[in-house]
């Protein structure tokens, strides 16, 4: 179906279902190409629905084999069945049962939605609307049912059979080579949380006792031979379960909790009740095949999916417009968990980097949408950084605004009041309005209004009056469908930094700001701080207290002072980022002269050198963040129009190289001091040391390529872990020449047979900022390590290339053409992966006219392709609108 024909689904059109399904009994007989599904539904009219309505069950590419009502086969005139649905024209106006038989072909399911096979393992993915690819159903999250599932399969092919809930029985099927398992999930759930897994899998397991005394069997299932790589995921699971008990008072509620890793998966992972299914990239880890970053993301995603058990499963979404109800909140929860497990300031910095690079860029382009969208054509295109990451920021702001205490009571109230329901954002916010006694109706605008607010700040110091006056003003740029914007509620955490640190905050009324929090909720605000004994530096948006852009014109000298004296680590980091950003924006603008960059480079070099001398070993993870400049794409977004990626990249390269040169004398001593002794350990302190060491390696590669190349070779050959060896490869990619090619080849040799490691190898090459990269990527598509059929491979190589600012945005348009062609080809097999890839075009409108024209042409080529999926045509049309 073309998007133009696809209906626009609107939030305001929500109506409760006319029918409810109390119980579902599934009997699924697994077969690679002919899987039989028998579904027994106990239906009844919904008191809140229409009584004279027909019964319309959703389907997607289904074939009906048999149908009966209350056990009696139905006459063909009583219903209409097709691939996309099953309608009972005149269902009884009382409770009744339907028995539906369908047959599906898991092996042919390349969309990876519904039931499919991944490397000989049967698995399912039902969010958002994949269950209708298994059987006809009321596939909407507000229809919640109790599931009993019988799975049957050939013993040899699928010795392991898993579904949601608790295992009730297992046994042989007499007279055959088959066996079965019976699962029962007592918690009513929407169909999108259904899952099954069947296959030959190894596992690791551990017993767990919840705080309220329930014995739970935890297990992580992986492909045969990979059990040695499942330990970190299991360990993370135990830690996040304890944490949720302690911090949110949430206990687990079944006797088993299973995690399964599969190698073909469209997303990161899925929170199916009691049976989380993961992209294996977010489960498998050992020092040789996973980086520190992988260990951290596994920990975070295991936690994320586990936390969904309460925020998502026990309390689910009334409709898909409420997606942020579970996703924003659950991202917030996993961020908090990681902050407690690791370094809170460093985690915040990393999260803000992600927010800016993914969400701010989405908000600034044609795909911008509110945290709670009002309309969609394809819901799968709304699993976005805005719903997830900005959604988490909204929760974070809420906590800052009402305080920790009221936030906690609000969460408790939400868990108590909404447990077992399919809820809305309104119901969620009502809990916090109640717990805090505040009117949150203005705050709720965060869910409705798209775009990144800008805060313009300026200050005046009056020495005679010892008064510092701070003026704040806000505005939000127009976004698609929202030309006019209202002021947002912006919690601005702040401090005044003096020579000896923070100055006391006193205002005339002391009505606000005494606690370092100012709420900017109108167009502008002016605050006078009294008794200010010296000209202060305003430290605004401490901890990044609101997802906004801050425009504050501090001198380079003030920013450098802020970097050394601010008590807020986030703003210390931000101060140097601001210096770099400003210089790069100036040098990267069309027609800019890069002369000014030299002075800034010298200043930054001196500051960083002093910082490394004094502080580097105290907190290496923080130091690594300080050394890392804003990415070229961040600078492009700051410039915002007529962007020339080559100019930005050149400026970025020049600044990095100059900083590297300034640090060169200190480099080898510091790298030595940072070396971790003994065998690899994944803890955040060791990871921090490696991060800083490897940040320095990258700078060395730029500032002294010959020595840098030798360092990379040496680190690759002697490194005992993937973090260091991959960092060596990445640094080497900055140095063109024979040695680079040799290391690339060595790497492939060393990790042959390790697809997840080779993904990183593919990506490192796709990111090389040189014109030959496009040809290299084309060649790599023919490498045995690549496959268009596996989402991880596509994201690594093609997604990597699309993230390569200068090469995707080649002036000749060849980068756009290449990606567009792949989107079109991929759309035939996996529309979701194709449409995500097409999302790489989201910033095309800010480019200089030549590139903009080329990008538009490539998008047009996609949009005009016949028989596009709804996923891809929706993105193409919105991008071009």
Residues in contact with ligand PHE by CB under 6 A are 125, 127-128, 267, 269-271, 304-305, 308, 327, 383
d(CA 637, CA 846): 8
Task: Output the smallest distance, CB 606 to ligand PHE, in A.
Answer: 44
- Of 617, 631, 705, 625, whose CA–CA distance to 666 is shortest? 617
The C-alpha angle 4, 6, 9, rounded to 5 degrees, equals 120
d(CA 327, CA 321): 11
Q: Which residues fall within 8 angstroms of residue 600, CB to CB, at 6 or more apart?
A: 556, 579, 580, 582, 583, 655
- Of 876, 875, 9, 14, whose CA–CA distance to 375 is shortest? 9
Closer CB to ligand PHE, residue 323 or residue 430? 323
Task: Output the smallest distance, CB 300 to Zn ion, in A.
Answer: 11
Task: Output the smallest distance, CB 317 to ligand PHE, in A.
Answer: 11
Task: Output the smallest distance, CB 659 to ligand PHE, in A.
Answer: 37
Full 3-state SS string of 513-542: CCCCEEEECCCEEEEEEECCCCCCEEEECC
Distances (CA, A) of 508 to 349, 531, 536: 34, 10, 18
Closer CB to ligand PHE, residue 270 or residue 546? 270
Residue 707 tokens read as 């020595």
Clarify whether 305 is annotated catalytic: yes
Task: Output the smallest distance, CB 384 to ligand PHE, in A.
Answer: 11
Task: Output the smallest distance, CB 383 to Zn ion, in A.
Answer: 9
Distances (CA, A) of 253 to 195, 362, 795: 17, 37, 35
Closer CB to Zn ion, residue 128 or residue 162? 128
Closer CB to ligand PHE, residue 241 or residue 270? 270
The site map against Zn ion for 269-308 (x = CB under 5 A) is ----------------------------------------
What residue 267 binds from Zn ion, ligand PHE, none (CB within 5 to 8 A, per partner kind)?
A: ligand PHE
What is the pairing mode between strands 79-82 and 35-45?
A: unpaired
What residue 163 binds from ligand PHE, Zn ion, none (CB within 5 to 8 A, per partner kind)?
A: none
The C-alpha angle 399, 402, 405, rounded to 5 degrees, equals 80
User: Which alpha helices (H) appear in 593-683, and where do they start and end?
Assistant: 595-615, 620-627, 632-639, 645-674
SS3 state at 831: helix
The site map against Zn ion for 315-354 (x = CB under 5 A) is ------------x--x------------------------
Task: Output the smallest distance, CB 279 to Zn ion, in A.
Answer: 13
Count how many Cα atoms sit within 13 Å of the Cα of residue 868 in the half-sphere of its side chain: 30
The DSSP bridge partners found for residue 258 are: 219, 275
Count how many Cα atoms sit within 13 Å of the Cα of residue 776 in the half-sphere of its side chain: 21
Closer CB to ligand PHE, residue 270 or residue 395? 270
Residue 120 DSSP code? T
Task: Output the smallest distance, CB 73 to ligand PHE, in A.
Answer: 36
| Size of site (CB under 5 A) for Zn ion | 2
Task: Output the smallest distance, CB 260 to ligand PHE, in A.
Answer: 14
Task: Output the smallest distance, CB 130 to ligand PHE, in A.
Answer: 8
Closer CB to ligand PHE, residue 308 or residue 369? 308
The DSSP bridge partners found for residue 38 are: 27, 101
Closer CB to ligand PHE, residue 235 or residue 334? 334
Closer CB to ligand PHE, residue 129 or residue 185? 129
What residue 378 binds from ligand PHE, Zn ion, none (CB within 5 to 8 A, per partner kind)?
A: none
Helix (H) or strand (E) holding 574: helix 569-588
Closer CB to Zn ion, residue 330 or residue 694? 330
Q: Which residues fall within 8 angstroms of residue 533, CB to CB, at 6 or more apart?
A: 466, 498, 503
Task: Output the smallest distance, CB 304 to ligand PHE, in A.
Answer: 6
Closer CB to Zn ion, residue 301 or residue 450? 301
Q: Are 471 and 442 within 8 A, CB to CB?
A: no
Closer CB to Zn ion, residue 396 or residue 690? 396
d(CA 175, CA 196): 25
Q: Which residues fall within 8 angstroms of residue 283, CB to CB, at 6 or more apart?
A: 220, 222, 229, 230, 233, 259, 261, 298, 302
Q: Are 117 and 156 within 8 A, CB to CB?
A: no
Q: Are 835 and 874 within 8 A, CB to CB?
A: yes
d(CA 879, CA 852): 12
What residue 383 binds from ligand PHE, Zn ion, none (CB within 5 to 8 A, per partner kind)?
A: ligand PHE
The C-alpha angle 293, 294, 297, rounded to 5 degrees, equals 85
- Of 364, 336, 359, whose CA–CA distance to 348 is shortest? 336
Closer CB to ligand PHE, residue 112 or residue 527? 112
Active-site residue among 305, 327, 341, 362?
305
What residue 269 binds from ligand PHE, Zn ion, none (CB within 5 to 8 A, per partner kind)?
A: ligand PHE
Q: Are 121 and 157 within 8 A, CB to CB?
A: no
SS3 state at 648: helix
What residue 127 binds from ligand PHE, Zn ion, none (CB within 5 to 8 A, per partner kind)?
A: ligand PHE
Task: Output the smallest distance, CB 307 to ligand PHE, in A.
Answer: 9
Residues 687-696 as b/e (b if ≥16 CB within 10 A, e otherwise) read bbbbbbbbbb
Task: Output the smallest distance, CB 481 to ligand PHE, in A.
Answer: 24
Calculate the CA dihedral of residues 384, 389, 395, 398 and round it to 10 degrees: -110
Closer CB to Zn ion, residue 447 or residue 818? 447
- Residue 593, sorted as left (phi over 0), alpha (psi -120 to 50) or beta, turns out to be beta
Residues with catalytic annotation? 305
Interface residues with Zn ion (CB under 5 A) are 327, 330
């Amino acid at each position: 179906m073309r998007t133009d024909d696809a209906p626009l689904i609107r939030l305001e059109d929500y109506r409760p279902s006319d029918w409810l399904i109390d119980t579902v009994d599934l009997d699924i007989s697994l077969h690679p190409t002919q899987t039989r599904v028998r579904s027994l539904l106990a239906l009844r009219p919904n008191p809140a629905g229409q009584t004279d309505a027909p019964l319309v069950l959703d389907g997607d590419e289904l074939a009906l084999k048999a149908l009966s009502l209350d056990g009696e086969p139905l006459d063909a005139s009583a219903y209409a069945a097709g691939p996309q649905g099953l309608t009972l024209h005149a269902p009884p106006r009382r409770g009744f049962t339907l028995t539906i038989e369908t047959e599906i072909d898991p092996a042919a399911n390349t969309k990876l939605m519904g039931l499919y096979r991944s490397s000989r393992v049967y698995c399912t993915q039902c969010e958002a609307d994949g269950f209708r690819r298994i059987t006809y159903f009321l596939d909407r999250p507000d229809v919640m049912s109790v599931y009993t599932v019988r799975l049957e399969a050939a013993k040899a092919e699928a010795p392991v059979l898993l579904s949601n809930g608790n295992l009730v029985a297992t046994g042989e099927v007499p007279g055959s080579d088959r066996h079965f398992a019976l699962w029962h999930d007592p918690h009513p759930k929407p169909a999108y949380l259904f899952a099954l897994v069947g296959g030959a899998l190894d596992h690791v397991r551990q017993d767990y006792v919840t705080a309220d005394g329930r014995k739970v069997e935890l297990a992580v299932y992986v492909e045969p031979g990979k059990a040695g790589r499942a330990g970190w995921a299991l360990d993370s699971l135990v830690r996040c379960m304890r944490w949720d008990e302690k911090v949110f008072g949430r206990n687990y509620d079944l006797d088993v909790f299973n995690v399964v890793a599969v190698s073909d998966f469209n997303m990161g992972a899925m929170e199916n009740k009691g049976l989380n299914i993961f992209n294996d990239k977010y489960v498998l880890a050992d020092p040789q095949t996973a980086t520190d970053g992988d260990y951290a993301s596994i920990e975070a995603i295991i936690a994320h999916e586990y936390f969904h058990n309460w925020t998502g499963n026990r309390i689910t979404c009334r409709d898909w417009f409420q997606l942020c109800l579970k996703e924003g909140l659950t991202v917030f929860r996993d961020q908090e968990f990681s902050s407690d497990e690791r370094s809170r300031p460093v985690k915040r910095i990393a999260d803000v980097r992600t927010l800016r690079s993914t969400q701010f860029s989405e908000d600034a382009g044609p795909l911008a949408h509110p945290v709670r969208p009002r309309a969609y054509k394809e819901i799968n295109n709304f699993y976005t950084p805005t719903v997830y990451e900005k959604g988490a920021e909204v929760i974070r702001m809420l906590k800052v605004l009402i305080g920790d205490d009221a936030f906690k009571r609000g969460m408790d109230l939400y868990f108590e009041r909404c447990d077992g329901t399919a809820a809305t954002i309104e119901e969620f916010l009502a809990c916090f309005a109640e717990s805090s006694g505040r009117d949150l109706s203005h705050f709720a605008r965060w869910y409705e209004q798209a775009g990144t607010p800008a805060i313009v700040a300026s200050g005046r110091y009056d020495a005679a009056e010892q008064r510092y006056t701070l003026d704040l003003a806000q505005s939000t740029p127009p976004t698609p469908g929202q030309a006019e914007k209202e002021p947002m509620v912006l919690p601005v955490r702040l401090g005044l930094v003096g020579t000896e640190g923070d100055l006391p905050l006193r205002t005339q009324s002391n009505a606000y700001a005494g606690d370092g929090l100012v709420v900017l909720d109108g167009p502008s605000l002016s605050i006078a701080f009294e008794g200010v004994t010296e000209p202060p530096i305003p430290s605004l948006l401490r901890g990044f207290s609101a997802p906004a852009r801050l425009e504050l014109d501090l001198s380079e000298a003030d920013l450098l002072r802020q970097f050394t004296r601010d008590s807020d680590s986030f703003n210390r980091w931000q101060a140097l980022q601001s210096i770099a950003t400003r210089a790069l924006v100036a040098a990267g603008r069309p027609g800019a002269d890069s002369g000014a960059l030299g002075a800034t480079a010298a200043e930054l070099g001196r500051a960083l050198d002093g910082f490394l001398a004094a502080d580097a070993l105290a907190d290496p993870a923080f130091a690594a963040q300080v050394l890392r400049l804003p990415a070229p794409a961040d600078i492009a977004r700051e410039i915002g129009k007529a962007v020339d990626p080559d100019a930005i990249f050149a400026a970025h390269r020049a600044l990095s190289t100059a900083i590297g040169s300034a640090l060169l004398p200190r480099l080898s001593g510091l790298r030595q001091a940072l070396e971790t002794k003994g065998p690899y350990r994944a803890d955040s302190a060791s990871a921090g040391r490696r991060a800083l060491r490897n940040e320095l390696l990258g700078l060395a590669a730029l500032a002294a390529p010959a020595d840098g190349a030798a360092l990379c070779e040496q680190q690759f050959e002697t490194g005992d872990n993937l973090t260091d060896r991959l960092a060596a490869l990445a640094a080497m990619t900055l140095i063109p020449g024979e040695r680079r090619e040799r290391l690339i080849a060595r790497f492939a040799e060393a990790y042959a047979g390790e697809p997840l490691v080779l993904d990183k190898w593919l990506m490192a090459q796709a990111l090389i900022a040189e014109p030959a990269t496009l040809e290299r990527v084309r060649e790599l598509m023919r490498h045995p390590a690549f496959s268009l059929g596996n989402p991880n491979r596509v994201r690594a190589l093609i997604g990597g290339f699309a993230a390569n600012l200068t090469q995707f945005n080649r002036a000749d348009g060849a980068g756009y053409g290449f990606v567009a062609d792949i989107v079109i080809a991929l759309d035939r097999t996996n529309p979701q992966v194709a449409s995500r890839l097409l999302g790489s075009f989201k910033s095309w409108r800010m480019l200089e006219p030549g590139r903009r024209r080329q990008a538009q042409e490539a998008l047009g080529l996609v949009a005009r392709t016949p028989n596009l999926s709804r996923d891809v045509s929706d993105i193409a049309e919105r991008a071009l609108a």
